[in-house]
Amino acid sequence: MESEIGKLHQDLQEGKISCVQLVEEKMKELKDSRHNTGNVLLDDLARSRAQAVDAKLKAGEEIGLLEGIPFGVKDVYLLQGAKATASSEFLRNYEAPYTATAIKKLMEAGAIPLVKENCDSFGHGSSNENSAFGPVKNALDESLVPGGSSGGSAVNVAKGHTVFSIGGDTGGSIRQPAGYNRVYGLKPTYGRISRYGLMAYASSTDCVGPIARTLEDIRILLNTMSGKDPQDQTSITSAPISKEVFETNGPGIGFKVGYYTSFLENKALDPQIKADFLSLLGTLKQLRIKVVPLDFYDTEVLVSTYYILAMAETASNLARLDGMTYGKRLTADTLKKGYALSRSVHFTEETKRRIIGGNQILSQGHSEEIYQKARVLRDQILIKFKQDFQEVDVIVSPVSPGTPPTIGSSLNRPLDMYMSDAYTVGFSLGGLPTLTAPIGTATGIQLSGAKNQEDSILKFAKLLTEAAKWN
Amino acid sequence: MEKTMPLDLLSSIKGAQSSEAVNKLFDVIKGAVPDNHTEASYDMDEHAVSIHDLRSDEPASCDADQKELIRKNFPAEKNGYLVVPKVMEE
């Protein structure tokens, strides 16, 4: 099975390249990049870790699979002693006091963090234009947005500046930029990877996940980062996924695949994406896979349910940012005015929109009518998913209704941006594992499984990737 | 009498106004009709953390490096003291 990590590991072990050389090459690419993907380069840390790997190799020691492999970290994760800005003005100078569990696990396995990657500020956005560090440019066309919020991470992987990157996905923030830049991106089952050290956006859907160029790399990284963590009470125990998951037994292999008809009825769906998606369903049938149409909620209801819950949660999570104990502080003649001034000046317009919306949702008079109703809708969505996965193994869907817009064209149309998440947010509400694969449509396809069924979606993605090659 | 707190106070954001885009999301939710599945086998509690699985409620001390970084992140310092902007007025 093709693996970029595996190939580089072999090259390092056989002395075809030194780790310092590898890290320097990637660092130069990041510095020279026109895509604005990096907020902070971790030069010193990366070099010292690369030197340690080379010393081991020189001494004739075996190195681990991830040892010496350079990677990127979305700038919403904490890495002790490094800047952790959340692409915000508020935290531009903040230094992380500890390291996030997922990043720590990768570093314990020997991987080398190179860069804190540009993203939408606090994860608030779907285009990576909402950043205090400026917009990121799409890997395939610099005039287009890269998607968001993990835009810098997806572009770095697509351009090869990092071997893999760790994104964060609350409502599609790994899957949509992965689709826009034609790479793989996995949002695992909620809780499979600890959220400890990930800056909270909407805690009930926040997920840590890998972005990579091969499926095998996604499997390796998922296994490395997964596991119950006492620091995150919502984390869960899971079994590692074996390499054999990719050993398919020819066409079909007994899969039953569902798709949501309401997704195809979305008026905003690009005709070519629709045609390509229908063509993909045709290919599945040719492979003797049973394809089942399923009913689901209207995409407007899914988007509204997600955003109402996410805004309520982010208003609570970001209430702690007031410039008192960390972050930038501005002072005024009273304490409360000082809080308000710090928050008004240092949050972006989109972040303020979500905080204000979240406080409206949670306030008296709105909470029953809006927040509680969104909770009821979410419960019903969970039940629907449970029923659907009794009928099918995998649900396939487009990643996005449209292709990436040009930079600057949608920043002032927040509703359009929210609606661009039409196909990703439902699976976030369900806590379901969902993979973007760069096949099928211009922005790829999503494969979703029942909770903890990452192995099914990886297996099916392999099958589809093979089928795409035949076609 | 019911008192509604203004949005700028609720959010600690100067001049906070409701957004047209967000209001449209509210309208969709108000008009949405949830399904009425009451599947007996479905247990909503599977999404909650069990009280039998909570970590002990004990303070955990930071190591020296963490303490130093936390101090370093404090926005203002003078003569070895961490400076707060104002004392609470109320």
**ipTM, interface predicted TM-score of the complex:** 0.91
Percent of all residues in chain A with a pLDDT value above 70, rounded to a whole number? 98
Question: A35 in a domain, yes or no?
Answer: yes
User: One-letter amino acid identity for A223?
Assistant: N
User: In the structure encoding, which two tokens stand for residue A129, read together?
Assistant: 């234009």
- pLDDT per position as a tens digit, A213-269: 999 999 999 999 999 999 999 999 999 999 999 986 655 668 899 999 999 999 999
Q: Is the pLDDT of residue B27 over 50?
A: yes
> Any catalytic annotation for residue A33?
no
Question: What is the Cα–Cα distance from A46 to A224, expressed in whole angstroms?
Answer: 20
**Does B2 contact A at CB distance below 8 Å?**
yes
- pLDDT per position as a tens digit, B38-55: 654 556 656 677 788 788
From the list A72, A65, A71, the residue with the least C-alpha distance to A11 is A65
User: One-letter amino acid identity for A307?
Assistant: Y
Question: A409 in a domain, yes or no?
Answer: no
User: One-letter amino acid identity for A430?
Assistant: G
Question: A205 in a domain, yes or no?
Answer: yes
From the list A353, A121, A351, the residue with the least C-alpha distance to B20 is A353
**Does A418 contact B at CB distance below 8 Å?**
yes
Number of domains in chain A: 1
Kindly state the average pLDDT of the residues A40-59. Answer: 98
Kindly state the average pLDDT of the residues A379-407. Answer: 96
Lowest mean per-residue pLDDT among A95-109, A431-445, B29-43: B29-43
Question: A146 in a domain, yes or no?
Answer: yes
Band (pLDDT 50/70/90 cuts) for residue B90 is low
From the list A280, A325, A212, the residue with the least C-alpha distance to A446 is A280
Supply the pLDDT for residue A158.
98
Question: A253 in a domain, yes or no?
Answer: no
Tokens 């990657």 label which residue?
A: A117
Q: Where does residue B80 fall: left (phi above 0), alpha (psi -120 to 50 degrees), or beta otherwise? A: left
Question: What is the Cα–Cα distance from A176 to A185, expressed in whole angstroms?
Answer: 8
Question: A382 in a domain, yes or no?
Answer: no
Residues 6+ apart with CB under 8 A from B6: B16
- Mean pLDDT score across all residues of chain A: 96
Question: What is the Cα–Cα distance from A421 to A118, expressed in whole angstroms?
Answer: 20
- Quick check: bond before A226 cis, omega within 30? no
Supply the pLDDT for residue A470.
63
d(CA A274, nearest CA chain B) in Å = 25
Question: A207 in a domain, yes or no?
Answer: yes
CB contact under 8 A, A352 and B16: yes
> Any catalytic annotation for residue A74?
yes
Kindly state the average pLDDT of the residues A360-372. Answer: 90
- Predicted structure pTM score: 0.96
CB contact under 8 A, A311 and B7: no
Supply the pLDDT for residue A45.
98
Supply the pLDDT for residue A254.
80
> Any catalytic annotation for residue A410?
no
The CATH number of residue A198's host domain is 3.90.1300.10
Question: A264 in a domain, yes or no?
Answer: no
Residues 6+ apart with CB under 8 A from A238: A189, A192, A226, A227, A452
Report in angstroms the alpha-carbon separations of A80 from A42, A99, A107, A280, B70: 12, 5, 12, 45, 11
| Three-class DSSP labels, A199-268 | CCCCCCCCEEEEEECCHHHHHHHHHHHECCECCECCCCCCCCCCHHHHCCCCCCCCCEEEEEHHHHCCCC
Band (pLDDT 50/70/90 cuts) for residue A326 is very high
Q: Phi and psi at residue B18, in whole multiples of 5°?
A: -70, 150
Q: Are A145 and A138 in contact (CB under 8 A)?
A: yes
Q: Is the pLDDT of residue B1 over 50?
A: no
- pLDDT per position as a tens digit, A166-204: 999 999 999 999 999 999 999 999 999 999 999 999 999
User: One-letter amino acid identity for A45?
Assistant: L
CB contact under 8 A, B49 and A340: no
**Residues of the domain holding A72:** 4-245
Question: What is the Cα–Cα distance from A6 to A14, expressed in whole angstroms?
Answer: 12
Q: Are A74 and A165 in contact (CB under 8 A)?
A: yes
Supply the pLDDT for residue A206.
98
Lowest mean per-residue pLDDT among A13-17, A275-279, A365-369, B68-72: A365-369
Report in angstroms the alpha-carbon separations of A58 from A53, A66, A264: 9, 17, 57
Q: Are A81 and A22 in contact (CB under 8 A)?
A: no
Supply the pLDDT for residue B18.
93
Question: What is the Cα–Cα distance from B43 to B51, expressed in whole angstroms?
Answer: 16
